[in-house]
Structure 1
Amino acid sequence: MATLPFPEYAHFDATGLADLIRRNELSVREVGEAAMARIERYNPALNAVVHKLYDQLDVWTQQPVAGPLAGVPFLLKDLNTAFKGAPLTAGSRALRHRVAHADSAYVRRVRAAGLVVLGLTNTPEFALMGVTEPEAYGPTRNPWQTAHTPGGSSGGAAAAVAAGMVPMAGASDGGGSIRIPAACCALFGLKPSRGRVSAAPEYGEIWQGASVPHVVSRSVRDSAAMLDLLQGAEPGDPYVITPPKRPYADEVRQEVEPLRIGWSVAHPLPQGDVHPDCQQAVAKAVRMLKEAGHTVEEVPLPWEGVQVTDAYLMMYFGEVAATVRQLRGDLGGPARPGDIEEATFTMALLGETFTAGDFAETRRQWNAIARRFGAFHERYDLMLTPTLAQPPLRVGQNQLKGMERLGLKVLNRMGAGKLLRKSGVVWDTAKKNLQAVPYTQVANLCGLPAMSVPLHWTAAGLPCGAQFIGRFGAEDVLLRLAAQLERQAPWFARRPPDYAE
């Protein structure tokens, strides 16, 4: 392999690179070329970046450097964050020719920060899976062990950051899609509160408000700095959340007040199994929290797992149906089997069988779930759980097998949505897949901020995360605690062995 320019590039986070550029110790071009070199070197094995936008480096080097993160390389998730003139495929072959005609609010703020967007990252079709294996682009692999998934749906972003292609990357979280890949790739991942980061202009609420955009990063301070830049409502947003008392970048330097934290490693679903290493991630967090002077108690989970799963899946199938309906504009007519993945088409068929009353009735459960969590937060500042119930899955482990795929193909061509619903097969399969990721969806339904912190690795070298869920609007508490944990057990310098150069 060729020698990398500026080999120390991956030793810096975004804040550190911005400081070097600001002090003229490095140029924007030097940093950008280092990022592109790492993408060219490592992406073939990982398939994290699916669209390259290297011309943006030329654009940036022809104008004055401006913005708090000016000149720092960045990648966008190929989903919802529209970058004018770039593809916007959402991981689907049905949208392979779609190009963004204007910047989203997220991208406008990324540009204002001075970040140099060098590409778009892989995501499962329409962000529907907790693994990143779209048929349109192929699977993304985990830099820690390439036989395993980096998670999803922000798996391409997480793999790119873990491999040192960029110090942080755009991500979004509608059911764990920031926290799951952060846990799989030993990154820091914060899902903000509902309404903290705008989805304008195309969306007011994505997935009924369950989904929120942000980033995955290696350092806590980068996540805090980006939240300062991204947070705040746009005109017409359905929520205007109370702004932070002070910049989040300042929070990571503050002392952490003693917190009262409840923890559990119980599986939320019947017959669910929590891997010992995922339990160890929580056990290590508990020890560290006690050493830091926090009050930590084992508690029952403050939500009922089946209720959360059923409420989440109703929204999920309904939103898939709506997304597939909207493809009419791009396809020139209704989506047909073959335009999209078989599993996606099946979920859309199932979603079409539910009535408006079914959807509204289940949507009301979100409030009941949030009230239970609100009662928990009357006594405790944070809830601690494993991020995942299992270490990163093997690539392809959740893919449909031959006969399963054939069966779906036949039912899809029959348009047999009611038969699918009556059989319960799709609903039961979805619940089975959630057995490995049962802890994240509740924060999305409740609109609560939550984070995954990388504190444990298996004997085989696979990361396992610990998840903290805070009160609504309490990103400041989470970031202060994350920075404290980062100081206690620094993870920034620990990188996948094959990508440590």
Structure 2
Amino acid sequence: MTLSLQQYLDSDATELALIVQRGEASASELLDQAIDRYHQLNPQLNAVCQPMFEIARQRVTQPLAGPLAGVPILIKDAVQDYAGLPTSSGSKVFNRVPATQHAHLVRRLLDAGAVIMGKTNTPELALKGVTDPEAFGITRNPWNLAHTPGGSSGGSAAAVAAGMVPLAGANDGGGSIRIPAACCGLFGLRPGRGRVSPGPAVAEVWEGASSDLVLCRTVRDAALSLDVMAGANPGDPFAVAPPTQSFRELSARQPGKLRIGFSTRSPVDTPVHPEAVRAVQNAVNLLQSLGHEVEEAAPDYDGQSLARSYLSMYFGQVAATLNQARELGASDHDFELLTRTLAALGRAQNSAEYVSRHRDWNRFGQALGDFHQRYDLFLTPTIAHPPIRHEQAELPAGQAKALSFLLNTGLLPLLARWGVLDNMVDDMASKNLSYFPFTQLSNLTGTPAMSVPLHWTNDGLPLGVQFCAAHGGEGLLLQLASQLEQAQPWKDRWPAMALAQ
């Protein structure tokens, strides 16, 4: 039989695999449905930047086995290398360089029988909480095309939220799974450091601050994906011991009565939108109705210091990546203005400053560890503001003109070393982090966290809430998420464009 559109939308990845296994639809028919969805939706969304239809069509002619056998999926065009194709990371420079081997997680997905049909859009070098690379264009939120789907996994989020595919690869170095999940009404789990290998092309991404998994609609799909993708690649700097049960089995267990601390205060003392506060307050009420003990409490750390430590790493990583691009024959001018600015700021840092900031990560980890002696989980808004309009993410014209002048004259690195630009850098950081101040704590501490789609604004935009766990807490997060999913289901809540025939 051929699966109807409604049946396709009603089925998550777990169910689609069972449909193929039962012979109710073939992998080829599912792929046709997904490609039809691409042609219908992608012109509006710009979620997929690199279709892989011929590769996918060839794959469905072969025998497929595993828990994702026959399921069409997408991978993110950053870190998630597919051999023979470029991993552009939203950059025209790296879009010219094909990967020589599959990433560990891509190989795991293929071994599980998944049918990878394309790569999803991301901001240049996956640097922002919005998805607007000059190389491929802006990705739009299916709930309202005038708003961002978040970033940096915005293409994956838009594709899943619109019903193009049931799940899509994502990674999170500063919130890039959780932010787009919050913006698009999806479930997004960021695994702890080392749970899923990013190798073999890299040992760690962003000093281990980044983790890979997927964006999806159901908790069981996240658990299945973690079972498929978790593990170390030979040569990784460390490996995390697997749980005693599969994540699917763990997610089906009740979490028991939890002690949960919550906060709606921005750690960098920037405003938090009333809708984000309301999202947390509603979550608190739901948790209490389920028998959990919830009270206002937060880890004792300096949010401004964490932001400076994060930005130090951020600047340094961008500088190193542009240096790598020079080795490929590119120049800094092949990159966007903001990327070049960040690289210049990174080059202005000295190694002692970089190492000192990195050492501070331990203080944040210790503070979070102390908090988890008293509380099982930490609840916050995922983002401090409903999904912003695209123009809100643009650099002001005057600032862009000033940065171009300073870069073209070579003054920017010099002024940065002298501290003359500290106020401008602080202003840029404040603007960016004012929207996304809650997510970086998990990145620098290497702990797991998730965004759960429990709230929609009065304007009909999704706005998720975040739960953070201690090291090794992925199973507990999945258990609570399953309980919340049953208590307040979100799977069948779709943007209008997803249901249009």
Do the aligned residues in 2 keep the contact of 1:285 with 1:455 (CA within 8 Å)?
Answer: yes
Equivalent residues in 2 for 1:109-258, closer than 5 Å: 109-258=108-257
1:295-334 Cα offsets, whole Å, 9 max, x none, are 111114433210110110000001110111110232x25x
CA distance in 2 between partners of 1:202 and 1:99 (Å):
12
Between stretches 453-462 and 406-415, larger displacement belongs to: 406-415
CA distance in 2 between partners of 1:61 and 1:432 (Å):
46
Between stretches 309-318 and 94-103, larger displacement belongs to: 94-103
Q: In structure 1, which of residues 333, 336, 340 is the aligned counterpart of residue 332 of structure 2?
A: 336
1:188 maps to a residue whose letter is F
2:90 maps to a residue whose letter is G
Aligned to 1:419: 415
Shift of 1:407: 1.5
Do the aligned residues in 2 keep the contact of 1:60 with 1:71 (CA within 8 Å)?
Answer: no
2:477 maps to a residue whose letter is L
CA distance in 2 between partners of 1:432 and 1:291 (Å):
37
Do the aligned residues in 1 keep the contact of 2:251 with 2:476 (CA within 8 Å)?
Answer: no
2:415 maps to a residue whose letter is L
1:210 maps to a residue whose letter is A
1:85-134 Cα offsets, whole Å, 9 max, x none, are 22311101222322222111111111001110110100000011000001
Please list every run of 5 or more consecutive structure 1 residues that lacks an aligned counterpart in the other structure: none
Aligned to 1:282: 280
The percentage of counterpart residues that share the same residue type is 48
Aligned to 2:387: 392
Shift of 1:5: 5.9
Do the aligned residues in 1 keep the contact of 2:3 with 2:29 (CA within 8 Å)?
Answer: no
1:288 maps to a residue whose letter is L
The ranges of structure 1 where at least 4 consecutive aligned residues each deviate by more than 6 angstroms after the TM superposition are none
CA distance in 1 between partners of 2:86 and 2:94 (Å):
9
- Are 1:428 and 2:423 an aligned pair? no
Aligned to 1:314: 312
Shift of 1:7: 4.2
CA distance in 2 between partners of 1:246 and 1:336 (Å):
48
Taking structure 1 as the reference length, what is the TM-score of the superposition?
0.97
Equivalent residues in 2 for 1:438-453, closer than 5 Å: 438-453=437-452
Shift of 1:68: 1.1
Shift of 1:442: 0.5
Shift of 1:252: 2.0
Shift of 1:491: 0.1
Shift of 1:273: 0.9
For 2:233, what is the secondary structure of its paired residue? coil
CA distance in 1 between partners of 2:499 and 2:61 (Å):
32
CA distance in 1 between partners of 2:300 and 2:39 (Å):
46
State how many pairs are aligned.
495
Shift of 1:6: 4.1
1:107-163 Cα offsets, whole Å, 9 max, x none, are 111100111011010000001100000111111000000000000000000000000
Shift of 1:55: 1.0
Aligned to 1:76: 75
Do the aligned residues in 2 keep the contact of 1:389 with 1:436 (CA within 8 Å)?
Answer: yes
CA distance in 2 between partners of 1:377 and 1:403 (Å):
45
Aligned to 2:293: 295
Do the aligned residues in 1 keep the contact of 2:322 with 2:332 (CA within 8 Å)?
Answer: no
Shift of 1:10: 1.6
Q: In structure 1, which of residues 364, 368, 371 is the aligned counterpart of residue 366 of structure 2?
A: 371
Shift of 1:400: 1.4
Q: In structure 2, which of residues 348, 351, 367 is the aligned counterpart of residue 353 of structure 1?
A: 348
Aligned to 2:405: 410
2:239 maps to a residue whose letter is V
CA distance in 2 between partners of 1:350 and 1:234 (Å):
33
1:411-443 Cα offsets, whole Å, 9 max, x none, are 111222121452221343123210110000000
CA distance in 2 between partners of 1:258 and 1:500 (Å):
38
Do the aligned residues in 1 keep the contact of 2:122 with 2:154 (CA within 8 Å)?
Answer: yes
1:268 maps to a residue whose letter is P
For 1:208, what is the secondary structure of its paired residue? coil
For 2:80, what is the secondary structure of its paired residue? coil
Do the aligned residues in 2 keep the contact of 1:347 with 1:426 (CA within 8 Å)?
Answer: no
Do the aligned residues in 2 keep the contact of 1:51 with 1:87 (CA within 8 Å)?
Answer: no
Shift of 1:38: 0.5
1:430-485 Cα offsets, whole Å, 9 max, x none, are 23210110000000000000000000111110111110000101100000000000
Shift of 1:76: 0.8
Do the aligned residues in 2 keep the contact of 1:252 with 1:479 (CA within 8 Å)?
Answer: yes
Do the aligned residues in 1 keep the contact of 2:326 with 2:332 (CA within 8 Å)?
Answer: no
CA distance in 2 between partners of 1:327 and 1:143 (Å):
34
For 2:168, what is the secondary structure of its paired residue? strand
Please list every run of 5 or more consecutive structure 2 residues that lacks an aligned counterpart in the other structure: none
CA distance in 2 between partners of 1:175 and 1:67 (Å):
32
CA distance in 2 between partners of 1:313 and 1:344 (Å):
13
Taking structure 2 as the reference length, what is the TM-score of the superposition?
0.97
Between stretches 394-403 and 212-221, larger displacement belongs to: 394-403
